Chain A
């Protein structure tokens, strides 16, 4: 590990870094007076509508397009058979093992559909309404096949998602600390603990979630001009361009991809999608611009989903609570195809199950499994929330078995502040952290002892409303990623980021980043960094991104990488500008370059009051009338930065819930988190990231679940049944920080985009379980719905102890988007 030189502490309020700047992009984003992809209208543009399979698994017997083709203003109707190889294929960028089994992923299959929502035909028409109308006229004859819908059964190949593959098992990825030389043998630890220690064994379900970003996906392709242009509501314009070139045979130099303003993603837009490939193919085939914008229902059904694992965990410990080994056995549902990151998501969790702890032995095995559901991929946290949930539930269960406070058993096992840098049993080197400080601060702010006392009073009184206190610590690997590490994991790309800084003649600055934002506030935070670095006003910095003609290199935004990797690239590019300007300053000031110092935007001659501003130098370089001999007349600079390590934010989260044992209702009472995310560029943006992240993690604990019926239809296919919580459902959180600057980047920053999501889910579930301990409850299946909680309370009456007694499998949606039940049919009388 290299400690980077010249790392300032968080700048004071005088500088831009650390200031509560309002986000400069928000006015246009909130008012919508900007370029969302769906706002783009090109001359002669056509519109697409999709015909999607209502069956999870079916043979396409025949498709009758004639009626749709004859509909008004229909330009064409296309099936998989019509397009054949011209549509290209969708890629998996991370084959996690050389033997990985993966079905060919056509944007539109010709003979067989493998999830409900898969595209079987595309209608192109002059208006979106006409395309939609005609899509209803396409008559598809299906022969339904048995659908592989249950993860555990699928792992046993009971029903095959793709019969031609002969198995649902895609890849088995294993890490063993004894084999890797990073620790001992976990089986030995478990055997020993069974004899004279404690062994905790649990199985947890990570339910399937839907990213549910605000802006539905949209794509426009203009096939005219030398470079064909694709606008897409994507997180990954650069990866998209690369993948289009790699799979369609169009040279990369002939492709321009633009991600204009993008309304959220949470990982859900880092996919390369069938919709993009089909729009690209058909616009080029027809020779006219084509647009496709999905409906919300299509988005919920066919944009990728997240999580969906079974976790079997075995924790071995000594009787004093010292953990001696952790064994993790995962089943992960890939869905019908191995998506772009796909099986890599659970593998990212492999490095995080040991979390902040000093486990001497560790074994991780993940079996990825194909099914007849929508494919899964990264969703805010991507593997790390699943891992953190698993271990933080286990540490709480260990504390319960031992009869000690859950914080005590954590402290006994965590890495102490003076033990950093620390190489973990999973082989990562954590550079810094202070778990003691974060936890102490959280306990004090939360009023931990007082709430424990109240809990006891309520228990003693038999109060129908019980209080539960949940604890979760977390750390995560942020800033994807050192390219060498990605290479060692067989990932298909690197993890660097590119930036450039352009000094304009009038003294303003354009900066270009390859980390394309989709709502995070990059334009504000990056402006602050560069304004400080170059000593120019914040308002004079413009951030450009998301267009491969402007930001020609980049690896985009995911995995909490933009600031720690993209920001570092910017710092390096800005520093190059300063170095280029020094000889000019020396020339203008008639001094030696060695005597030039730079501070707050001004170059001065050491020991004198002579100086020249960076803006004046930019003007002089633009004129180029009088530059040092041989100097290129440009200050513009670029940098490509490959991180030397991940960075490791951490935190302690404490949650109190009130559980109404009469109804099962869970009400948030108090939530305190103390996160250590290193130095902060913009506290306001950080607060937004943490609050939003917490809500998303709490949503997994209490509200959200993608539910399919027994035929594989997504039941929770609208926001009536897929419950995304709002401000009305939650409380205001106490968000605090403890700061240990990261040692792996110049600014001392760590990632924050995923932190709240990672820690809050186990904190909430631990709180719910804690409230119900007096009823003999030791788990509640997520989401902890009132019904499940109530059933857990009354488990003694015969229901499953975790409330898992399923009623959801056969249940109907309130708002039946598939029109399969009579809930919304047969309406009489007036509309409301």
Chain B
């Protein structure tokens, strides 16, 4: 399939990219790894006037240890995230989730920042980022601002990034020593998750002292299962207590209905997958 015609720009600096975005407004689309945008263009579901390619801007990829947080460049590929020892040590939930993201080819092209900025609620990176209280570093012509994950995801494919802004990095607060698990439910390996649950817990002597649970594809944005998190805190990591806590995993969610299941089925799945994710995280 052939996309509609568009202009193409490959700026070499963030400033240059921002200038292009300011100039072209909603006619411009940013391309990072292209794993979501290109299919959309090829199927002519979107026809931007100009595509701004971030691929030639240096310094936007890599993982840096910044004390209490890891700073991840927006253009860091999923494959780099998967193999990064800092991420594995301090943000194991991302490592677990990215392992399940699409296939090796896509992981080598797609980027951490691109996936989050795309904000597909069925994407695998949103729930872990939300669960880890990530902070999003957004550059604009007036400077750089930081947005907490709770404010970043606005709606379906909609984030706090303004039309003339760029996501340049993501800060992941360190969760060193926390157990983590990403429980993804699919019919075939190459599809988006029907539902997935990202869980990371801190346990001491068999008791869960803190828990973070993120839900994938349970609404128009990634969601936190706060009721589950509260119910788990201070509880022993047993099948019984976790099952009871996980029963409220779907509270307040509005999951979609599609060919893979209706919203009630997804609500049910969320409770089962939450139980499994938390138990696996606590056991690991």
Residues of A within 8 A of B (CB): 128-129, 132-133, 136, 295-297, 662-663, 665, 702-703, 705, 707, 715-716, 718, 720-721, 723-726, 728-729, 785-787, 790-791, 807-808, 810-817, 819, 822-832
Contact = CB atoms under 8 A, between A and B. Distances in A.
Contacts of A819: 45
29 contacts: A129-B2, A136-B4, A297-B43, A662-B272, A663-B269, A665-B185, A721-B258, A721-B259, A723-B187, A723-B188, A726-B190, A728-B188, A728-B189, A785-B261, A787-B260, A807-B261, A811-B259, A814-B191, A823-B256, A828-B158, A829-B157, A830-B31, A830-B117, A831-B31, A831-B32, A831-B37, A831-B40, A832-B111, A832-B114
Given A831-B29, A832-B33, A822 B113 contact: no
B261 A786 contact: yes
B38 A830 contact: no
**Best-surrounded residue of A665, A716, A814, A816 (most CB of chain B within 10 A):** A814
B34 interface: yes
Contact of B259 (A296, A715, A824): A715
A483 to B, nearest CB: 43
A829 B52 CA distance: 11
Interface in B35-62: 35-40, 43-46, 54
Given A296-B1, A813-B259, A825 B45 contact: yes
B2 A132 contact: yes
A830 B118 contact: yes
Contacts of A815: 39, 43
Contacts of B190: 726, 728
Of all A-B residue pairs in the complex, the 8 with the closest CB atoms, nearest first, are A831-B37, A832-B114, A829-B117, A830-B30, A728-B189, A807-B262, A830-B117, A832-B36
A790 B268 CA distance: 10
Nearest to A791: B265
B5 interface: yes
B188 A807 contact: no
A662 B261 CA distance: 14
Contacts of B150: none
A814 B187 contact: no
Main DSSP-derived SS at the A contact region: loop
Nearest to A790: B265
A807 B257 contact: yes
Given A830-B167, A831-B36, A729 B188 contact: yes
Contacts of A814: 122, 191-192, 258-260
B239 to A, nearest CB: 12
A826 B157 contact: yes
Given A703-B187, A720-B191, A830 B166 contact: yes
B159 interface: yes
B137 to A, nearest CB: 13
A726 B30 contact: no
A726 B262 CA distance: 25
Q: Which of B32, B115, B191 has the most CB of A within 10 A?
A: B191
Given A814-B192, A832-B37, 4 more contacts: A812-B258, A814-B191, A824-B45, A830-B37
Interface residues of B, number: 60
A832 B159 contact: no
Most buried by A among B4, B167, B269: B269
Nearest to B185: A663
A537 B163 CA distance: 68
A832 B189 contact: no
Contacts of A828: 119, 157-159, 161, 163
A810 B256 CA distance: 12
Interface string B3-14: 011000000000
Nearest to B159: A829
Contact of A811 (B40, B194, B262): B262
A785 B2 CA distance: 33
B1 A295 contact: yes
Contacts of B189: 726, 728-729
Interface in B179-219: 185, 187-192, 194
Nearest to A805: B262
B259 A808 contact: yes
Contacts of B39: 815
A827 B188 contact: no
Contacts of A718: 43
B222 interface: no
Contacts of B36: 831-832
Contact of B113 (A663, A702, A705, A830): A830
Contacts of B110: 832
A831 B122 CA distance: 15
Given A785-B260, A829-B117, A816 B188 contact: no
B244 interface: no
Contacts of A725: 188
B156 interface: yes
Contact of B38 (A133, A816, A831): A831
B44 A136 contact: yes
A805 to B, nearest CB: 9
A724 B259 CA distance: 14
Nearest to A808: B259
A665 B34 CA distance: 32
